[in-house]
Structure 1
């Protein structure tokens, strides 16, 4: 059994937070999302350890690029005509190949729990896959 309670359990097979040394990258496609990004970046900064963040911006005309950069994100800009939901995300994975876990978010999403990234790492290590924000055991 794998438990997300980390250090709180005495069971032998409990995953410890120290086992979660997976290099993690959050990928966020944006377009004119500056008004939503502050809440998203606040939720990311609460994570332990704080993940690396890439923003791929599709020619925003607001301050999206500046907000992302001032919050420590690596920022890539592409013409809006080149944006493709799957292709743009894959492009960011290809440009950043040295990560163990890639988490795709949208500019208006945020993490409500300061352990959300750790929980995702637990699922990755334990062989659970995420699908539409729901976790299912692998057959």
Structure 2
């Protein structure tokens, strides 16, 4: 039985990597009906000169590519994806980021296979593999968060997995449309973490989340300590704003576990010189997280220095974000 699939990709200043992503999606063994691109900043798209590339636009290989532009002030991690999801009527919606590269031609097929294991599965997310330039510490982090074994998670796993029960990444995640809608979809306004908030709502309503280890994308970053601080500040803000999802589970214990395992790995491999870097990055993550949890106590000027998403703190959002 065939299933209808739309792929949704938010973009910002896209370049050659994005063009390669579109090419690889067109080569998938299971093809989507549409690729819906929501680009932030039309002026950046024009600078990229993609209009000169018939290789991307229109209908190619049976896939329709649709392009929508929004202003930078209109972008919201949850609201923009929610708006894009409302443009789809497909049975499944695959959300990706512009820098997530399919590792092979079976990405969509394996996500679909995973999502169809159980009619209660609301979302299936892919394994993220490190890129060639990925640092040693981040490479191990990929392995820690995205292991070799697939798993289906439900409310029954909270006691064992804690916050990882709700883990789902819109770097590459396929949602079953009817369950997505039943769970309320992506929140209209969030600084970050729209994927875990949605997954948490699904699980609390009795649905399930699948981790598909055989669906693989190449995706990693070499963040600085400052970037880690800001990223974890925003993460904690999103958790503080959604106690209905995160209050009963702790992120800190999982973070401590990852630091310990990473340190043990570095010692085992005799990468002793990386231990100070691990401690620095872990400290930046922890301080950013703790400050984000207490953001309501911070002056606005401090918040704007801590966040990586200054536009989120503006008072007004457009209809593109809120509908």
Q: State the TM bucket, normalised to the shorter chain.
A: 0.7 to 0.9
**Contact kept? 1:58, 1:80, Cα under 8 Å:** yes
Q: Which residue of 2 aligns with 1:103?
A: 94
Shift of residue 131, structure 1, vs aligned partner: 4.8
**SS of structure 1 residue aligned to 2:112:** helix
**Contact kept? 1:30, 1:64, Cα under 8 Å:** no
Q: Per-residue displacement from partner, 1:109-137 (whole Å, max 9, x unpaired)?
A: 11111111011111111135435745531
**SS of structure 1 residue aligned to 2:124:** strand
**Contact kept? 1:31, 1:64, Cα under 8 Å:** no
Structure 2 distance, partners of 1:64, 1:104, is: 24
Q: Which residue of 2 aligns with 1:90?
A: 82
Shift of residue 34, structure 1, vs aligned partner: 2.2
**SS of structure 2 residue aligned to 1:73:** strand
1:32 to 2, 5, 13: 13
Count of paired positions? 119
> TM-score, with normalisation over the residues of structure 2?
0.34
1:76 to 54, 57, 68: 68
Shift of residue 40, structure 1, vs aligned partner: 0.1
Structure 1 distance, partners of 2:102, 2:26, is: 10
Please list every run of 5 or more consecutive structure 2 residues that lacks an aligned counterpart in the other structure. Answer: 128-145, 155-323
Q: Structure 2 vs 1, CA of residues 64 and 118 (structure 1 numbering), >3 Å: closer, same or farther?
A: farther
**Contact kept? 1:26, 1:102, Cα under 8 Å:** yes
**SS of structure 2 residue aligned to 1:95:** coil
Structure 2 distance, partners of 1:64, 1:24, is: 28
**Contact kept? 2:35, 2:65, Cα under 8 Å:** yes
Alignment pair present for 1:58 and 2:40: yes
Please list every run of 5 or more consecutive structure 1 residues that lacks an aligned counterpart in the other structure. Answer: 1-18
Return the structure number with greater relative CO, CA threshold 8 A, min gap 6. Answer: 1
**Contact kept? 1:32, 1:64, Cα under 8 Å:** no
Q: Per-residue displacement from partner, 1:44-87 (whole Å, max 9, x unpaired)?
A: 01112321201000014222763553665200111111001111
Structure 1 distance, partners of 2:125, 2:40, is: 25
- The RMSD of aligned alpha carbons is 2.2
Structure 1 distance, partners of 2:116, 2:10, is: 26
**SS of structure 2 residue aligned to 1:118:** helix
Structure 1 distance, partners of 2:50, 2:84, is: 16
Task: Name whichever structure is richer in helix by fraction.
Answer: 2
**Contact kept? 1:26, 1:53, Cα under 8 Å:** yes
Alignment pair present for 1:136 and 2:151: yes
